[in-house]
Amino acid sequence: MRTHVSGLTLPPSALAAHREDGFVPPAKLSDLDPGTLIRALRDGAVCHAGPVTDISSEQGLLWIFDEQSRTRKIIETYEFTVVARLETDSTEGPKEQI
């Protein structure tokens, strides 16, 4: 059985390492918000990663601030498998000191 994600098809084993890091395939682009961390994968390898800056759901496009190149990149979702860290970690943020 293969898993269809955003435009490319990968075997479930190729997504397992990303799931361990908290990244999952979004059901649709509208599940993403500016600031959501994503990875754009090709053949299971990370090509681009960073926070979303803009989304065009109608055209299947995402813009991110790529962490490696430190530039803004356009991600065409039909060319990449997109996985996102959709869950927020409730342990982050300011902590009270006692």
Look up the CATH number of the domain holding residue 29: 2.30.30
Instruction: Flag whether 66 is in a domain.
Output: yes
Give pTM, 2 decimals. Answer: 0.73
Residue-by-residue DSSP string for 57-96: GGGTEEEEE-TTT-SEEEEETTTSEEEE--S--TT-S---
pLDDT confidence of residue 9: 58
> How many whole angstroms separate alpha carbon 93 and alpha carbon 77?
31
Q: Which residue type does 71 have? A: T
The range of the structural domain enclosing residue 38 comes to 3-84
Provide the pLDDT confidence category of residue 70 given band limits of 50, 70 and 90: very high
Instruction: Flag whether 90 is in a domain.
Output: no
Number of domains, the chain: 1
Instruction: Flag whether 92 is in a domain.
Output: no
Q: What is the pLDDT of residues 24-34, one digit of tens each?
A: 888 889 889 99
pLDDT confidence of residue 11: 62
Query: How do strand 45-56 and strand 37-42 relate by DSSP bridges?
Result: antiparallel
> How many whole angstroms separate alpha carbon 66 and alpha carbon 68?
6
Instruction: Flag whether 97 is in a domain.
Output: no
DSSP state of 24: B
